[in-house]
A and B are shown apart, each in its own frame.
With several copies, the nearest count.
Chain A
Amino acid sequence: MQTDRFVTPAARDTVLVKVRFFATHRETVGADRVSFELPGGASVADLIETLVARFPDIQPVVGAARFAVNREYAAPTTILHDGDEVALIPPVAGGRS
């Protein structure tokens, strides 16, 4: 379609993801979910960078977190898609007890 040519690359490639926070992260951020708009092709690692820029207090605790994309554990290199649900998973304690 002709109209496609006039959409800017930035607008076309933007992905909107929902990020969920739990436990110590939730308390640090002060919210249990926040939506982020990221450039197309952004990875989980890129999201974390954006996240730390917006919530600097989370930096000390984010290093120990795992990540889930759509409720599956995912590597930081995972590319995000529009509508994905990303969760920061702080360490779970139960392994020892």
Chain B
Amino acid sequence: MATELDRRFQVVDSPIDAAAVMRRVQHPGNGAICVFYGVVRDHALSGRQTSQLHYEAYREMAEEKMTEIADDLYRRWGIDRVAMTHRIGRLGIGEPSVVIAVGTPHRKLAFEACEYAIDRLKAEVPIWKKEIGPDGEEWVE
């Protein structure tokens, strides 16, 4: 079951190995690789200071949704070199919560497909975050 291909779309509960995410899109036909990191930052959408985020996932559905997004990358652009890993649990400032890598022959498509993938992931993949700061905790909606 746990082939390298399966591991392209993962929810993990330990720090993301970004180098491993990139290795999953390696291909001699790549001229460009775009890698996106979503990172915990010190100020939340609410404007309040954040010291930690807690991420929770509907893991099975999240991994299925990531696979569906990848299928759409293939349908739209013929791209089959994409990998996504989302981390759950408690993350401190500066830690990546999500890493997406896309490899393509030419660079324009790498940017376009990587941005499309993270936009879709953020809108559809069932993962939630709770801001934890000096003023308390709150689920971000």
Binding site for B on A (CB under 8 A): 20, 22-24, 26, 64, 68, 71, 73, 87, 89-97
Contacts and interface: CB of A to CB of B under 8 A. Distances in A.
Q: Top 5 A-B pairs ranked by shortest CB distance?
A: A94-B122, A93-B140, A23-B128, A71-B61, A91-B141
A64 B128 CA distance: 14
B45 A93 contact: yes
Interface in B40-89: 45, 56-58, 60-61, 64
A66 B79 CA distance: 30
Contacts, number: 63
Contacts of B61: 68, 71, 87
A87 B58 CA distance: 9
A95 B123 contact: yes
B94 interface: no
Given A22-B126, A64-B141, A71-B64, A97 B45 contact: yes
B90 interface: no
Contacts of B122: 92, 94-95, 97
B24 interface: no
B64 A23 contact: no
Nearest to B65: A71
22 contacts: A20-B58, A22-B56, A22-B57, A22-B126, A22-B128, A23-B128, A23-B130, A24-B139, A71-B58, A71-B60, A71-B61, A87-B61, A89-B126, A92-B123, A92-B128, A93-B129, A94-B38, A94-B121, A96-B45, A96-B106, A97-B38, A97-B106
A23 B139 contact: yes
Contact of B127 (A71, A73, A92): A92
B134 to A, nearest CB: 20
Nearest to A64: B141
Nearest to A27: B139
A92 B58 CA distance: 11
Contacts of B15: none
